[in-house]
Amino acid sequence: SQKIEQNSEALNIQEGKTATLTCNYTNYSPAYLQWYRQDPGRGPVFLLLIRENEKEKRKERLKVTFDTTLKQSLFHITASQPADSATYLCALDMMDSSYKLIFGSGTRLLVRP
C-alpha cells in the first residue's frame, strides 16, 4: 500500500541546535517533494521544494535532502529558535493530471529557549 510516514512523536530540542525531521514514503514516485510549516489554527505555509533529480536544497537556515533510492527526505533547521516551533508537513507532488499534494501527517517541533 502507499504510505507517507513522518515521526508522530514531537521533536523537542534546545534553542541553537539543529532540528532534523524525516519523511519516508513507499509505493510512490513523486516528481517533487515539498515541505510546509503549519501553526495551530492556520493553513500550511510552503517552505521548500526539491525535485527528484536534486539531492539537496537550501534556503537560509533550512536544508532539505531527497534520496529517491531510500525514498526519504530529511528536513533540517539549523540554529533553531523558539519561533521555529510548529508542525512540519512533507508533501509529495505527483506527476499526474491534478498536481495534487499528498501529505504526511506531520511532525511537531518544539524548540526550548
Partner 1 sequence: GAGVSQTPSNKVTEKGKYVELRCDPISGHTALYWYRQSLGQGPEFLIYFQGTGAADDSGLPNDRFFAVRPEGSVSTLKIQRTERGDSAVYLCASSSTTGALGDTQYFGPGTRLTVL
Residue 84 or 93: which CB sits closer to partner 1? 93
Separation of alpha carbons 28 and 10, rounded Å:
25
Cα 10 from chain centroid?
A: 14
In angstroms, rounded to a whole number, what is the distance separating the alpha carbons of residues 77 and 111? 11
Q: Facing residues of 58 across strands?
A: 63
Q: Which residues inside 32-91 make contact with partner 1, applying CB under 8 A? A: 32, 41-46, 49, 51, 89, 91
Is 106 exposed, middle or buried (CB count within 10 Å of its CB: 0-12, 13-18, 19+)? buried
Binding residue (CB under 8 A) for partner 1 from 31, 58, 70, 81: 31
- Is 99 one of the binding residues for partner 1 (CB under 8 A)? yes
Judged by CB under 8 A, does residue 103 bind partner 1?
yes
Assess 28 for contact with partner 1 (CB under 8 A). Answer: no
The yes or no reply on residue 11 touching partner 1 (CB under 8 A) is: no
Which residues make up the interface to partner 1 (CB under 8 A)? 4, 8, 31-32, 41-46, 49, 51, 89, 91, 93, 95, 97-106
